[in-house]
Amino acid sequence: MEYRGSFVSLPAIFAVLALSGYAASAGTPPAPVPASPAAAGQEQKEQPKSESKQKETALTGCVDEKAGQYVLTNDRNLITIANLEADGFPTEGFAKHLGHKVTVRGTSNSTGSIPTFKVRSIETVSSSCGPNQ
């Protein structure tokens, strides 16, 4: 029976061992480097930040103004869905969308009875809004 497996040269094996640190220590693996307490603490602090990132989402409804605050309402019964807060553009940018059905994209902060939606972009769906739209 003839062997037809792959052939690995001895110099290639030494090269791999040298790169991994085994060759220099005569077959003994290198001692692990202990992590410093500061580095371990820093890793733990970074994890909650990534978990606390809010996911961007989209809402569709009608732009209205109530008590000096721009809001998004349900187009069927005009009940407030969210308070709108501009993120990256002036709050006055909502004015041109008053009475329009729009889709807003951004993040929601639901700490109150009505969530605050930080709007990064706004797209007009219809130039009018109401139960028949």
User: Quick one: pLDDT at residue 51?
Assistant: 42
Q: Which domains does the chain have, with CATH numbers?
A: 10-52 (no CATH), 57-126 (2.40.50.140)
3-state SS record for the chain: CCCCCCCCCHHHHHHHHHHHCCCCCCCCCCCCCCCCHHHHHHHHHHHHHHHHCCCCEEEEEEEEEECCEEEEECCCCCCEEEEEEECCCCHHHHHHHECCEEEEEEEEECCCCCCEEEEEEEEEEECCCCCCC
User: Quick one: pLDDT at residue 57?
Assistant: 93
Q: What is the pLDDT along the chain (133 residues), one digit of tens a residue?
A: 454 555 555 555 555 455 555 444 455 555 555 554 444 444 444 444 444 466 889 999 999 999 999 999 998 888 999 999 999 999 899 999 999 999 999 999 887 789 999 999 999 999 998 765 4
User: Quick one: pLDDT at residue 112?
Assistant: 78
pTM for the structure as a whole: 0.58
